[in-house]
Amino acid sequence: MKIRININGNWREDDVEPRLLLVHYLREVAGLTGTHIGCETSLCGACTVLLNGEAAKSCTILAVQADGAEVTTIEGLASNGHLHPLQQGFWEEHGLHCGFCTPGMIMASHQLLARNPHPTREEIRHALEGNLCRCTGYQHIIKAVEWAVEHGGR
């Protein structure tokens, strides 16, 4: 099936199998491997991207369902060589160890700050409940989001 998707500001057209998952499309077809696959069941959040501005788990969406949509991946977050405040926050506050969950964490945090620019710690924990991290114990991730809030938010 032919699909047309805007990824990080650029439209592209591809002919894909109907069963191709969006995450595989992004990684294998578009070559953007920053979006990771942790479970293929929407439970871990590693594959979180923005679909028309909303955080979505790309492992349980078919690529064809994203036809006509705008997708933002972790690769599209920095602009003009400047890190996004969330990316910078994760760096400043040691919000990652192995970095595998990080793209999903950052995209989910992006969604949170879009809805709630000044979240409490409890609200950050709640917003990231759909994203698993096995390394950090989450505390430095919360500090990373707080850093982003203090430095220009989303």
137: left (phi over 0), alpha (psi -120 to 50) or beta: left
Does 154 bind other proteins (CB under 8 A)? Our answer is: no
Q: Is 57 in the site for other proteins (CB under 8 A)?
A: no
DSSP state of 19: T
Which of 134, 150, 151, 152 lies at the binding interface for other proteins (CB under 8 A)? Answer: 134
Rounded distance between C-alpha atoms, residue 78 and residue 98, angstroms: 20
**Shortest distance, CB of residue 49 to other proteins, whole angstroms?**
10
Burial category of 32 from C-beta neighbours within 10 Å (exposed 0-12, middle 13-18, buried 19 and up) = buried
Span 77-116, contacts to other proteins by CB under 8 A: 77-78, 83, 87, 90-92, 94, 96-103, 106
What letter represents residue 120's amino acid? T
Site for other proteins, rule CB under 8 A: 17, 19-20, 27-28, 32-41, 43-44, 46, 73-75, 77-78, 83, 87, 90-92, 94, 96-103, 106, 121, 124-126, 128-129, 131-142
